[in-house]
Amino acid sequence: MQILKDNIRKSILDEAKKEFLDKGFSDASMRTIASNAGVSVSTIYTYYKNKDELMTEVCMPFVNAANAMTIEHHTADTDIDDMLNPDSQRETARALIAMVKKYRDIIRLILFRSEGSSMNNFRDNYTDRTTAHILWFFGKMKMKYPDINTDVSNFFLHANCAWTLSIIGEIVSHDLSDEELEKFTNDYVKFSTAGWAKMFGKNT
């Protein structure tokens, strides 16, 4: 029975994901989801309060993974050097890309097809959170190395965080081979480490 119910849950979530991706949240139809999942519309409502919650539930796996990664990242004892260290950056980028590939569909759903749902806030929330973390990190670094230049425009930091999300969006929108992704990673790291070095005034 438990198994049966889990099957139904999964079936509903799967079909909901397809329908949301296909039509976008607003234009998706609960009927279609139910019909494709082989259950009645009302059954969906016994599992999920409403359309929005269904959407949220569909996105949860990624949201959880993203939160976990964020926490891990935030608690890591990184130093300013890590931002300038290509190897360290590459590692971080690869981990991110691995996760992006894993949650490809959900990410596409959240970034491009969530209009009208509460998941549509994810983009802004995520950027804001990441930005806040960077600011806190910069403060910490300034304490540690008083002579580096951390006088960086808040909005530039924000834009940089948004870039990450933008890149994620581009990755999930295109079908890239592993080689392309690796090459991209190298280029990106080259570009951004050089950029940050310049920002920090370490690039005499």
Partner DNA sequence: TATGAATGAGTCTTCATTCAT
Partner DNA sequence: CATGAATGAAGACTCATTCAT
Q: Report the interface residues with DNA, using CB under 7 A.
A: 1, 4-5, 8, 28-32, 39-43, 45-47, 50-52
CB of 114 to DNA, least distance (A): 14
Which residues of this chain interact with a second copy, rule CB under 8 A?
24, 26-27, 112-113, 115-116, 124, 127, 152-156, 158-159, 162-163, 165-167, 169-170, 173-174, 176, 180-181, 183-184, 186-188, 190-199, 203
Whichever of 64 and 154 has its CB closer to a second copy, that residue is 154
DSSP-derived secondary structure for 65-133: HHHHHHHHHHHS---HHHHH-HHHHHHHHHHHHHHHHHTHHHHHHHHHS-TTSGGGGHHHHHHHHHHHH
Can you tell me the distance from the alpha carbon of 191 to that of 122, in angstroms, rounded to the nearest whole number? Answer: 27
CB 134 within 8 A of CB 155: no
118 binds, among a second copy, DNA, none (CB under 5 to 8 A by kind): none
Whichever of 24 and 134 has its CB closer to a second copy, that residue is 24
CB of 109 to a second copy, least distance (A): 11
Within 8 A by CB and 6+ apart from 35, the residues are: none
Residue type, 48: Y
174 binds, among DNA, a second copy, none (CB under 5 to 8 A by kind): a second copy
- Identify how many contiguous H helices and E strands the chain contains and give both numbers: 10, 0
Whichever of 11 and 167 has its CB closer to a second copy, that residue is 167
